[in-house]
């Protein structure tokens, strides 16, 4: 199978001096979105020995490093979509750019995304890209296996405590549940191979048939006005009585809150 | 911010840190307390390539350069000094000399298992009467047809309790003085090869440091490393590289202590504010951060010199001297910032403080390094 996995370079430190939607990037504080890793791992197992897995990302130059992480984990090729004209994009403008890049990559059996990102967590980009490409979508996928000679994909997805079995005609788009695959360690040999035998190509807006008015900040219908740390109020309460009474009280309270 | 780091350097640091946070940090306090070599973690480290960092890929190594080697050692040591010690000694003074001085047959026979961590290496130079003065060793390896008859009493052998492949420094020609010292590779299981009791050390307790005694042990001549009489050259060459590893280890321990002290200085409140806001504590944090950065930069310079094929004896000695002394100062202040809690085994800085101390002693004491550096400067 030929699979593209769309990945994101996320920031690991609380951003400072944020103006609007643009978060300054320091390469030391950026990593491959941890929720993209199960998607990459699932893609590598679906692609098999003969297949090809292409990691695609849109972001500033610092996002190259997330693509190298994907190459070190086993992806065969990395493509970074990077252009000042793409900066400040909301999720729709991002999806438009990714959809154009995916079309440029040519025939793909599958496009995969992590179901969420660790830094903004909208979950929009995968479904929006599927819509723009007019491809069927399975979100929050836990398992996937080709069927009927590779014309269809059997998918198990999980949401709200239920599991759903689906069959999708290929090509299709999957967003992958973060528990689809256990965390994997990347060895030194993979890193060495990524930096000596593989490359990250950089594409600019000029490489894509896109109207500049539909991407970047101008193409973004939403605008982030501010970002502040969410204040969480916590209350600590001590239960009284003997241990059994405390246990009864605790279970009752959890039941009242719908947690048991 | 490290402006000299490349994308690859950052990729290596991220991956090793993630591995360590997942597999080593959770057991580090326990393996120190129990003085236990965690084989279950070591096997995983082998699969990651940490035991063959600079070995060639065709010999199952990762093929990395020295700067990346230093980063790997720093990150492992940040999580656990004893495992950092295991990896640096294995790579730089056991595997590397075989790579640099071994025959093709020795490399093909020994390196792949070492590089994958299936076999652990050790460097056996120190004896009861020979430490800083390496030429005073008494071990002998007397040629006897196609074997050497080896008799040696080696002490404070890092990895000794688990080592499979030991580089033994011994006199093949007792009459030839310094030029009669050679290196023979003795393998565990050879009759006459015995591992002594593990040392009950104050720090680096995850490492099975032990004595190794060879009694009439017959080592085949095919296990001579380099030429007869080349022992001290091999040893000094290995130690030049090894010092970069020990310096990296010291940086890792110091960084761990700085991280813990910074966290504590933000959380702990006295006189109505976090203690880090008090000028005296803030000054300690400032000194610690400066020393850690300076030490790391010296390590990277030494490593970059080695990668560039330039002389690096002085640079590696400076890095080792400065980083080890800095690690002791930094871990001491980390304990101070923690107050009474820093003296408790419940807090990690207590372990870092114990682990840091020996970095000023092994692979050349600070005093020996000052000799090396001063000679080099005065001869310029």
Domain boundaries along the sequence of chain A: 2-214
**Binary contact (B12, A188; C-beta < 8 A):** yes
Q: What percent of chain B is predicted at pLDDT more than 70?
A: 100
Active-site residue, selected from the candidate residues B260, B325, B350, B363: B363
Does A80 contact B at CB distance below 8 Å? Answer: no
Answer whether residue A16 shows pLDDT above 80: no
For residues B323-336, average pLDDT: 98
Can you tell me the distance from the alpha carbon of B257 to that of B123, in angstroms, rounded to the nearest whole number?
29
Q: Looking at domain B232-379, what is its CATH homologous superfamily?
A: Butyryl-CoA Dehydrogenase, subunit A, domain 3 (1.20.140.10)
Does B69 lie at the interface with A, CB-CB under 8 angstroms? no
Nearest Cβ partner for A192 among B2, B23, B64: B64
User: pLDDT per residue over B21-54, tens digit each?
Assistant: 999 999 999 999 999 999 999 999 999 999 999 9
What homologous superfamily does CATH list for A2-214?
HUPs (3.40.50.620)
> Which pLDDT band holds residue A21 (cuts at 50, 70, 90)?
low
Mean pLDDT, residues B345-364: 97
Distance CA(A102)–CA(A90), nearest Å, equals 18
CB atoms within 10 A of CB B40: 8
- Residue A257 confidence (pLDDT) above 90: no
Percent of chain B with pLDDT over 90: 97
The structure's pTM equals: 0.92
B15 touches chain A (CB under 8 A): yes
Topology of domain B122-229, CATH? Butyryl-CoA Dehydrogenase, subunit A; domain 2 (2.40.110)
Average pLDDT over residues A237-248: 91
Task: From residue B143, give the alpha-carbon distance in Å to each of B150, B170, B211, B217, B227.
Answer: 9, 11, 24, 12, 13
Which runs of consecutive H residues, i.e. helices, occur in A79-154?
A: 91-104, 125-133
Q: Which of these ranges, A6-20, A128-142, B1-15, B215-229, has the smallest mean pLDDT?
A: A6-20
Question: Distance (Å) from the C-alpha of residue B19 to the closest C-alpha of chain A?
Answer: 6
**Given this model, what pLDDT does residue A20 score?**
59
Q: Is B48 close to A64, i.e. CB distance below 8 A?
A: no
User: Which one of A31, A188, A198 would you mutate to disrupt binding with B, by most B Cβ within 10 Å of its Cβ?
Assistant: A188
- Residue-wise pLDDT for A141-169, tens only, equals 999 999 988 899 999 998 888 899 999 99
Interface touch A65/B63, C-beta < 8 Å: no
> Is the CB of residue B21 less than 8 Å away from at least one CB of chain A?
no
Better-scored residue on pLDDT, A242 or A25: A242
Residue-wise pLDDT for B172-189, tens only, equals: 999 999 999 999 999 999
Q: Please report the pLDDT score of residue B337 as a whole number.
A: 98
- Residue B346, number of CB atoms within 10 A of its CB: 7
pLDDT tens for each residue of B208-250: 999 999 999 999 999 999 999 999 999 999 999 999 999 999 9
Domain ranges across chain B: 7-120, 122-229, 232-379
Active site annotation includes B363:
yes
Q: What value of ipTM does the predicted structure carry?
A: 0.93
Confidence of residue A29 (pLDDT cuts 50, 70, 90): confident
Say what the pLDDT of residue A17 is.
66
Cβ of A245: how many Cβ atoms within 10 Å?
11
> Any idea which fold B7-120 has?
Butyryl-Coa Dehydrogenase, subunit A; domain 1 (1.10.540)
Dump pLDDT digits (tens) for B252-306.
999 999 999 999 999 999 999 999 999 999 999 999 999 999 999 999 999 999 9
Amino acid A18: pLDDT? 65
Query: What is the C-alpha separation between A168 and A147, in angstroms, rounded?
Result: 10
Query: Is 90 exceeded by the pLDDT of residue A23?
Result: no
- Would you state the pLDDT for residue B344? 96
Residues contacting residue B52 through CB under 8 Å, at least 6 positions apart: B59, B60, B61, B62, B91, B95, B111, B114, B115, B116, B117
Residue A24 sits at the chain B interface (C-beta within 8 Å): no
């Amino acid at each position: 199978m030929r699979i593209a996995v769309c990945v994101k370079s996320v920031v690991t430190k609380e951003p400072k001096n944020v103006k609007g939607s643009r978060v300054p990037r320091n390469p030391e504080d950026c990593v491959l979105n941890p929720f993209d890793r199960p998607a990459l791992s699932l893609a590598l197992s679906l692609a098999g020995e003969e297949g090809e897995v292409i990691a695609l990302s849109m972001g500033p130059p610092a996002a190259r490093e997330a693509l190298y992480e994907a190459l070190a984990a086993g992806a065969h090729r990395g493509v970074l979509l990077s252009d000042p004209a793409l900066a400040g994009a909301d999720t729709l403008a991002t999806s438009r750019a990714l959809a154009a890049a995916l079309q440029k990559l040519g025939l793909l059996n599958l496009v995969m995304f992590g179901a969420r990102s660790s830094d903004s967590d909208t979950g929009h980009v995968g479904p929006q890209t599927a819509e723009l490409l007019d491809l069927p979508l399975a979100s929050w996928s836990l398992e996937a296996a080709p069927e009927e000679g590779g014309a269809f994909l059997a998918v198990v997805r999980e949401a709200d405590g239920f599991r759903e079995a689906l069959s999708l005609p290929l090509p299709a788009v999957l967003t992958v549940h973060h528990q689809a695959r256990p965390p994997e360690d990347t060895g030194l040999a993979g890193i060495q191979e990524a930096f000596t035998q593989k490359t990250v190509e950089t594409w600019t807006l000029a490489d894509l048939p896109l109207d500049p008015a539909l991407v970047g900040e101008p193409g973004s219908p939403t605008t982030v006005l501010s970002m502040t740390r969410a204040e969480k109020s916590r209350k600590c309460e001590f239960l009284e009585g003997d241990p059994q009474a405390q246990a009864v009280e605790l279970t009752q309270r959890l039941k009242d809150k719908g947690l048991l | 911010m490290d402006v000299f780091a490349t994308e690859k350097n950052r990729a290596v640091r991220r991956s090793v840190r993630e591995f360590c946070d997942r597999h080593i940090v959770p057991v580090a306090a326990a393996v120190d307390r129990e003085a236990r070599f965690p084989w279950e973690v070591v096997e995983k480290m082998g699969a990651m390539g940490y035991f063959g960092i600079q070995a060639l890929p065709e010999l199952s190594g990762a093929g990395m350069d020295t700067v990346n080697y230093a980063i790997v050692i720093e990150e492992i040591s940040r999580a656990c000094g004893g495992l950092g010690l295991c990896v640096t000694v294995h790579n730089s003074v056991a595997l590397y000399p075989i790579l640099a001085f071994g025959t093709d047959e020795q490399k093909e026979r020994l390196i792949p298992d070492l590089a994958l961590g299936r076999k652990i290496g050790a460097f056996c130079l120190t004896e009861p009467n020979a430490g800083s003065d390496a030429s005073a060793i008494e071990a002998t390896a007397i040629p006897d047809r196609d074997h050497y008859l080896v008799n040696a009493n080696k002490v404070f052998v890092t990895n000794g309790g688990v080592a499979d492949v030991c580089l033994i420094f011994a006199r093949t020609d007792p009459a030839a003085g310094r030029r009669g010292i050679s290196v023979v590779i003795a393998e565990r299981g050879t009759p006459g090869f015995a591992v002594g009791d593990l040392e009950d050390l104050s720090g680096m307790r995850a490492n099975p440091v032990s004595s190794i005694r060879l009694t009439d042990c017959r080592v085949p001549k095919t296990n001579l490393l380099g030429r007869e009489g080349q022992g001290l050259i091999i040893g000094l060459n290995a130690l030049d590289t090894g010092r970069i590893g020990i310096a990296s280890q010291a940086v890792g321990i110091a960084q761990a202590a700085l991280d813990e002290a910074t966290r504590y200085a933000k959380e702990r409140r006295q006189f109505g504010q976090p203690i880090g806001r008090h000028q005296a504590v803030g000054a300690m944090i400032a000194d610690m951060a400066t020393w850690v950065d300076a030490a790391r930069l010296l390590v990277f310079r030494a490593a970059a010199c080695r990668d560039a094929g330039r002389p690096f004896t002085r640079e590696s000695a400076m890095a080792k001297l400065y980083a080890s002394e800095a690690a002791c100062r930094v871990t001491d202040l980390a304990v101070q910032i923690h107050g009474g809690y820093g003296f408790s085994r419940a807090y990690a800085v207590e372990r870092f403080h114990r682990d840091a101390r020996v970095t000023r002693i092994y692979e050349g004491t600070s005093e020996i390094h000052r000799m090396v550096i001063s000679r080099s400067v005065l001869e310029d």
